Structure formats: structure tokens, C-alpha cells
Structure 1
């Protein structure tokens, strides 16, 4: 049986398989870890003066903690990505699992683990970007002194990207796991890792501007995390996701311009 035939036999994956329950369970545990504050972060003078949910504070504390602080920040960031990105990626994991029905249990576990592990690793490493930005331009003092200007500028960037063609090229791949597998399916564990790399690139391309907004609003602000997670999940899973993405872009652009205008008066 060819890979194309395996992917096309979709009725076998319409039920909720174990892989979907496992992925949802991992995402739920990640949310619990965040809400219960099980994720350690290095302390310091800044941690005593400002809250972890304030803009730029987790990044500044991580840099202040050196290598240990950066590692702990990446653990925190990776956990947030699991909580926010796993649920909307379940359709791909389910469909890929359906193509492995004839593989042995060991082979199936290895390939699913490679796909999920690569996807998680890429999203975890994106946490280096806010750290690098904060090292060049500290976000916490900038947000304290020029909060409306900073937030308005990020909203304009978000609005522009949400309305850009590249956003929708990436969104189309994220919304069509069937089409993604037909194009990018590769055999074996290494092939599964390559698929995870390809899919994560499309996901990052689809969602990066929303995460810039989250960092500026406060990367440990649970309310912003939850709101952005809902938006990106709906964009990727419901029939009116592209329309929602455009609406978010238009509102963000108008709101950003208004905030910049007020800040410059």
C-alpha cells in the first residue's frame, strides 16, 4: 500500500485515537503547570520589584540568570508552546497516525515521537528570539516608559502581517493536514522528523506575530496567553478561520494606529 493510499483512507482516523487523547492530555498538563506555577524561574532584584506577568520581566530575569536562566526560560517557553499549539495540531497527528496502521508498535511510537518531538523542539527554540531582542533592547523599561507607543507599534505590525499573503500561505498548510501529508510525507523516523520540521516552519510562519504581541503584553500573562491560544486555534481549525485572521488583522491595525496617534500627541 502506498503512502498516498494510506493517507486517503480517512474513515479509519475519524474516531478519536489514542494519539489525540495523549496530545490533548499533554497540552492540559502544560496548562496546569503554567497555572499552578510549577515552572521555576531564576529570581533576582528585578523579580522582587516587578511581576512575572509584566512585559519583558521573564526575559530580563532569564538573561540575568545566565545560562541557567536561559535554559529555565526555554523550558517555560516550550511548556507554553505545548499548551497553546498542541490542541490545534491534533488533526495532523491523528492523520499521520492513521498512515501507520501497518507499522509495528515500536515503529509507530518512534515515528510519532519524532514528529511530535521535532515540532516541540522548533517551537521551544523560538524562545531564543525574545531573549535576543530583550538583550538588545530591554523590553521591561521600554514598556514602563513608552508602553502605548510600544504596544501600538506591535499592533500595527500584527495587523500588517495578519493581512499579508505570506500569512495565508502558511495558514493554508496548517489548516490542511491532509494536503500537507500528501506533499511532505516521508518514510521512517528521520522522515517523520523532517515532517515535524516542515510543519513547525509553517506554524511559526502562521503565528509568530501573535506571539510578538504576547511577549510585549507579558509572556507569562495567562489571560493574554489564553486569548491568543483561542485565536490561533480558531484560525487553524474552523471553516471561518481565514476570515477571523483578517478581522484580527484589521482590528489590530486600526487599534495600533489609534494608540500611536494618542501616544504621539
Structure 2
């Protein structure tokens, strides 16, 4: 800059090795101004997957323990039994798919400048819409049907039991789909309260 020339107000300057706000993954500080890369979406999917695993795997513990007990008894009787880990893997596959969808949704909201730096909705219309959808869904037969499957692990296994390793994965995925059917609307409210709002995350997980 020549001597005597004042900096233009509002002009951004960058120094080598210094990361400007809004230019990190995935530019959350400046919604709508950062062009996401595919890697950003992948990293965001991983973030959602870790969060969903931490929230939903404990709720599946009674079912997983029941499956483990049944397989243990089958092995004691020399009956073919599949590793319980395959059931858990199938369950997590479903939540991995949900995580990918949530990451894409977050990308869309971010590009539309509808999310704050805390990843909460900045639009009263969007927030109200998500709250209305979540409220109405709680009274629909689909929610009741999914909840009945999740609340009765023994009943689920009686109806859904499948033999072999592939059967264990399918059972895990079926259980995951029923749990997703129970919780997806509440998960959508993370975009209202803030994806990083730990109190709301704990409330949903509880």
C-alpha cells in the first residue's frame, strides 16, 4: 500500500498462515458466503454420525443385550449364531444414512443463510414449520407403530428374527428404521434449538 493511502473501510486483508473467519470447515461463521467442498459434507456427515451413535446406541442397548443373550444360548446348544456386532452394525447403518441426509440438509440451510453460527435456525418461519411438523407427527399412527416396536425388544425379535450373519444385519437395520421412525422429527428440531445445543441433545437422547 502506498504511503498516504488509508485502508478502505470494510476491506478484508489476509496474512499468510492466518485463517480468516468463515473460511474454516464449513464456514459456519459466515452463512451463505462459503462454497462448500465435497470434503466438507463428508466431514459434516461424520460429525452427525458420531453424534447419532452417542445418542442412539445407548437406547438400543436393551435390544442388543437381548440379541447377545439369545445368540449365546444358541451357541451353548451348538446352534449356528451370528455375532451380535452385526446386529449393532446394521442398526448404525440406518443412523449413518440419516446422518448423511442431515448433513445435506444442513448444507442447504447454510447456503440459504438460514442457520446461525450455532447451527440454529435464523428463520421464524422455518423454526415454526419444524416445530409444527414435529408436533403433528407425535399423534400420527406411524409414530405409534414405530414406538411399539422399539418398546418391546422381545416382541420385535419374535416377529423379526432372521438366521445367519445377513439376518443379524437385516434385523439391526429393521430395528434402526423403527427407531428412526420414532425420532426423526425430534432430530429435526436440532435445527431449531441448535445442532450444538447440548441440553437439547441430552433431552432427545433421554
How far did 1:96 drift?
Answer: 0.8
State the shift of 1:132 in Å. Answer: 3.1
Distance, in Å, in 1 between the alignment partners of 2:111 and 2:126 is 9
Cα root mean square deviation, aligned: 2.8
Q: Secondary structure at the match of 2:64?
A: helix
Residue aligning to 2:157:
181
1:43 to 15, 21, 24: 24
- Write the distance in 2 (CA, Å) between the matches of 1:129 and 1:45: 16
Structure 1 position 84, deviation (Å): 0.8
TM-score, with length taken from structure 1: 0.59
CA shift in 2, pair 1:184/1:137, >3 Å: same
Q: Which sits farther off after the overlay, 188-197 or 213-222?
A: 213-222
Instruction: Check the 8 A contact 2:48/2:102 in 1, yes or no.
Output: no
Aligned runs of 1:103-182 on 2, under 5 Å? 103=75, 111-138=83-110, 141-143=113-115, 147-182=123-158
Among 183, 208, 211, the alignment partner of 2:184 is 208
Is the 2:127–2:192 contact (alpha carbons within 8 Å) kept by the matching residues of 1? yes
Q: CA deviation at 1:146?
A: 5.0
Alignment check: 8 A CA contact 1:161 1:209 kept = yes
Higher helix residue share: 1
Deviation (angstroms), 1:135: 4.5
Q: Which of 58, 62, 75 is equivalent to 2:46?
A: 75
2:45 touches 2:103 (CA, 8 Å); kept in 1? no
Conserved 8 A contact 2:146-2:181: yes
Query: For residue 244 of structure 1, what is the aligned residue in structure 2?
Result: none
Listed as ranges, the gaps of 5+ residues in structure 2 are: 1-22
In the other structure, the counterpart of 2:10 is: none
Cα distance in structure 1, aligned partners of 2:86 and 2:189: 30
1:46 deviates by 2.6
Unaligned runs of 5+ in 1: 1-41, 51-56, 231-265
